[in-house]
Amino acid sequence: METMSFFSPKLGIDLGTTNVLVFVPGKGVVINEPSVVAVGKEHGKRGNNKILAIGAEAKKMVGRTPDDIIAYRPMKDGVIANYRVTEAMLRYFMKKALGRNPFKPTVLVSVPAGVTSTEKRAVIEAAIRAGAKNAYVVKEPILAAIGAGIPIHEPMGRMVVDIGGGTIDVAVISLGGIVASTSVKCAGDRLDRAITDYIKKQHNLAVGDKTAEEVKIKIGAAVPMNEELSLPVKGRDLMSGLPRTVVLSTNDMVQAMARELREMTQAIRKVLQETPPELAADIIDNGIILTGGTSQLRQMPELVYRRTGVMAKLAVDPYYCVARGTGIALKHLDTYQKSILAKR
């Protein structure tokens, strides 16, 4: 049996609320696609919905579909919201990553820090049913730390803040384990929603999720800036019902996202307050490492510094940290045995 596992390919999956990244050791990240699935509603039949598109193809359909096609995300706040669709999505991405390899892969999947054992089991089950030979799950902050190049096995306190689409995961890591952590369901998606609400309230204009995300990326910031950026935004006027354009600026967006950003920094403060004093001293020396897509919001490290008094810095390629971490953990499964949660 063991000789077979020699051929068993390995895959690391960063199963995010907004994007799925698949890492193949030796090749790097081979898939980076939105975790969106387009499902066709069969009229008259219930529960027998046909999956029409997955990933990048399905993302193009968001907000642009006729009534009988729904484009939605099977992952909500970092955990599985729709089991069947998640399984189909995993199967699709695993097949795509493996190409013609006939062997079943060993899969390592990331889960949020605050995951329950039921949610953990659901991820393992979904991976096995999608065709994995073995499935392991590891908490995101651990993978983010490994991917950011932090030597997690040292007896030294390190703080990692992984800000994705669905959750912000904050953890203090020492000796390869999590000492204090929290996972708050307030991250990139909530920022997009805040922008949508702000444009609706201030300008009486309805815009889609995609537009809100674009605004956040192009002109958004975490703290007010002296040199503002601006962007014309198109949407539907709520009074006349006709298309209209407004020009938005950075500091408007800072104001729009203020409440959500406060909730995110609150999560960091909470973990700092629960950290043992020796480790807290280490964190002051080492600073806070920011990873994940949403950590790339302009001035994010500055905001964290202002709210905590601890220096914060962005990891290299923060978006890919968790995926890179899965790759490194797969290569050294025995070393990271302690951090790996469950196996089937």
Q: What is the 3-state secondary structure (H, E, C) of 165-216?
A: CCCEEEEEEECCEEEEEEEECCCHHHHHHHHHHHHHHHHCEECCHHHHHHHH
C-alpha 186: how far from its chain's center?
Answer: 11
| Beta pairing partners, 79 | 76
Name residue, tokens 């920022």. Answer: 191
Looking at residue 341, what is its pLDDT?
Answer: 56
Alpha-helical runs (H) found in 275-320: 277-286, 300-308
Three-state DSSP class for residue 17: coil
Q: Hey, how many other C-beta atoms are within 10 angstroms of the C-beta on 72?
A: 15
User: pTM of the entire structure?
Assistant: 0.88
Domains of the chain: 2-34+76-143+322-343 (3.30.420.40), 36-72 (no CATH), 150-186+261-319 (3.30.420.40), 188-256 (3.90.640.10)
> In this structure, what token pair is assigned to residue 99?
């190409």
Rounded Cα distance, 325 and 321, in Å: 6
Rounded Cα distance, 22 and 323, in Å: 7
For residues 275 and 58, the model is more confident at: 275
Three-state DSSP class for residue 297: coil
| Identity at 277, one-letter amino acid code | P
Looking at residue 162, what is its pLDDT?
Answer: 95
Q: How confident is the model at residue 315 (pLDDT cuts 50, 70, 90)?
A: very high
Rounded Cα distance, 212 and 156, in Å: 40
Q: How confident is the model at residue 40 (pLDDT cuts 50, 70, 90)?
A: confident
pLDDT digits (tens, 9 = 90+) for 87-141: 999 999 999 999 888 889 999 999 888 888 888 898 999 999 999 998 999 989 9
pLDDT digits (tens, 9 = 90+) for 198-226: 999 999 999 998 899 999 999 999 999 99
Q: How confident is the model at residue 147 (pLDDT cuts 50, 70, 90)?
A: very high
Looking at residue 334, what is its pLDDT?
Answer: 73
Task: Say whether pLDDT at 84 is over 50.
Answer: yes
Closest CA to 191 of 211, 212, 205, 162: 212
Closest CA to 267 of 281, 250, 288, 286: 288
Closest CA to 55 of 28, 30, 78, 77: 30
Q: How confident is the model at residue 257 (pLDDT cuts 50, 70, 90)?
A: very high
